[in-house]
Amino acid sequence: DITVNPNDHTHVLVSVGGYEDGHKVFQSFDAGENWENISGDLPNVPASAIVFYEAEDNVLFVGTDAGVFYSYTHDISWNEVGEIPHTFITDLEIQLEEKLLRVGTHGRGIFETSINTNFTSLEAAEPKKENCITLFPNPVKESFTISCFPENGQVIIYSLEGKNLGVYDTETIDCKILSAGTYIANVYDGKGNLEESIRFVRESK
């Protein structure tokens, strides 16, 4: 994703997908001639969305596969927006008049968070449901395992285009039939409620 400082069109920021550690967010103060890496301590997951907070143009938000983080353009340390789920973030939008950050996710719906002017805390309209569900290893060679797999749970694997590629009721899933590429694993509890949506990479065979 790319965003431009509304008060300085030569100030550009880019968020990057993929799993190359330390290569998530870059900024330029000369319209892209030179770039500075400000990835800092962001987690090593794809960063798919980025946006400036126009009221404080040195503040930016980044949406990743591990949730939403905010920082200052002069800093490389990141703070988690703690009330947003640890899930695949697809879009970020700021409603300036209401001081709201709206967050689009893959499979978890849309969240709305009020922006505190001093950025010491953020309150979400929907509280985050804590869980420990993760997928490992990622990238995947032949199989992956879901940690904290729900009792009577289910995993559905989707392509990025939304095609259902398989339904599984075990915590360890064989991926040999998948071609190299990026996929989504949705983890459901025993009642069919979505617990976590995780993007993973299937490595070349």
Q: Can you spell out the DSSP letters for 28-56? A: ESSTTSS-EE--TT--SS-EEEEEE-GGG
pLDDT score recorded for residue 112: 86
Q: Are 49 and 1 in contact (CB under 8 A)?
A: yes
Q: What range defines the domain where residue 177 resides?
A: 135-202
Q: Are residues 183 and 118 in the same domain?
A: no
In tens, the pLDDT along 44-72 reads 888 999 998 877 657 889 998 878 999 88
pLDDT score recorded for residue 67: 84
pTM for the model: 0.62
Mean pLDDT for 133-160 is 91
pLDDT tops 60 at residue 95? yes
pLDDT tops 60 at residue 113? yes
The C-alpha atoms of residue 97 and residue 170 are separated, in whole angstroms, by 47
Q: Are residues 96 and 44 in the same domain?
A: yes
Last residue of a domain, one of 101, 124, 147: 124
Whether residue 63 lies inside any domain: the answer is yes
Whether residue 129 lies inside any domain: the answer is no
Nearest alpha carbon to residue 4 among 38, 69, 70, 51: 51
What are 167's two structure tokens?
Answer: 């339904």
Last residue of a domain, one of 124, 145, 176: 124
Q: Are residues 80 and 146 in the same domain?
A: no
The C-alpha atoms of residue 178 and residue 205 are separated, in whole angstroms, by 9
Q: What is the count of structural domains for the chain?
A: 2
Q: Are residues 11 and 94 in the same domain?
A: yes
Q: Are residues 145 and 168 in the same domain?
A: yes
Mean pLDDT for 18-31 is 88
> Domain with 113 in it: what CATH number?
2.130.10.10
What is the average pLDDT value for the chain, to the nearest integer?
84
For residue 134, give every residue at least 6 positions away whose Cβ sits within 8 Å of its Cβ, in sequence order, or none: 146, 147, 148, 196, 198
pLDDT tops 60 at residue 117? no
String of b and e for 22-36 (b: at least 16 CB within 10 Å)?
eebbbbeeeeeeeee
Grade residue 204 by pLDDT with cuts at 50, 70 and 90.
confident
Grade residue 130 by pLDDT with cuts at 50, 70 and 90.
low
In tens, the pLDDT along 172-194 reads 999 999 999 888 888 888 888 87
DSSP state of 130: -
Q: Are residues 9 and 100 in the same domain?
A: yes
Q: Which amino acid is at 99?
A: K
> Domain with 174 in it: what CATH number?
2.60.40.10
pLDDT score recorded for residue 57: 57
Last residue of a domain, one of 124, 151, 185: 124
